[in-house]
Amino acid sequence: MERRRARETSVRTSERPSRRLVRFSLFAECLLTGVWVVLAALPLLTLLPSFAAGCAHLRRHLDGERSTLRDFGSVVREATRSGWRFSLLWWAALALLAFDLRVARTGALPGGPALIAVSVAGTLTAIVLGLRTAAAWRPGTGWAAAARTAVRRGLAADPGGSLLLAGGLAVVTVAAWQMLPLTAPAVGALAACAVAVERRARV
């Protein structure tokens, strides 16, 4: 009995460093992914495809599959080739909502505070659904199907996941406001959050 207890104790002790190593490896991979996503998203039109590639990279890492910078680049190219129209529409929607917010803040229209609240809520919803679409996209599939899945999960099946992503967006915003270089690791953490939310919705 004592030998068995000693053996179990030694197994648990040996597992602790490995678990810590896995967690640290995931943390480091998130930081690296954030740098890749930020650099690939510099043209702005590639923001969603780059985020989708970052999520795909983290999924492969979590599943123990091989994933390199070259793999990330190939996914970015495929996501951009198949999703540039969706990205353009997403940016157009954000621009329209930003224009509505600017007009509402001038006070030229009645019900200014209500219009501001609606514009802010609409902008946040569009951003979150865009990120959930990127997280739901898979190579070889269409962005329209991923968008339908994101809308269904984000607004009906899993609104809590959308709130988690909204919190992640707040962290990215604060990080960029405090110190611009922190944006890259914050984006990597946001990609990990999107992967976790996407897997949470599938359970």
Residue with tokens 């997280």: 135
What is residue 105's predicted lDDT score, i.e. its pLDDT?
A: 82
How far, in Å, CA of 112 to CA of 105, rounded? 7
What is residue 7's predicted lDDT score, i.e. its pLDDT?
A: 52
Q: Which residues contact 186 (CB under 8 A, 6 or more apart)?
A: 34, 171, 172, 175, 176
CA angle 28, 33, 36 (to 5 degrees): 135
Domain boundaries along the sequence of the chain: 2-202
For 19, 47, 89, 141, the CA distances from 35, given in Å and listed in that order, are: 25, 13, 25, 26
What is residue 11's predicted lDDT score, i.e. its pLDDT?
A: 42
How far, in Å, CA of 191 to CA of 150, rounded? 15
What is residue 2's predicted lDDT score, i.e. its pLDDT?
A: 52
CA angle 43, 66, 162 (to 5 degrees): 55
What is residue 161's predicted lDDT score, i.e. its pLDDT?
A: 87
How far, in Å, CA of 93 to CA of 189, rounded? 25
Q: Indicate the pTM of the whole model.
A: 0.84
Q: How would you write the pLDDT of the chain (203 residues) with one tens digit per residue?
A: 555 554 544 444 444 556 676 666 777 888 899 999 999 999 988 999 999 999 999 999 888 888 889 999 999 999 999 999 999 999 999 999 999 888 878 877 777 788 888 888 999 999 999 999 999 999 888 899 999 989 998 888 888 888 989 998 898 888 888 888 888 889 999 999 999 988 876 65
What is residue 13's predicted lDDT score, i.e. its pLDDT?
A: 46
What is residue 10's predicted lDDT score, i.e. its pLDDT?
A: 47
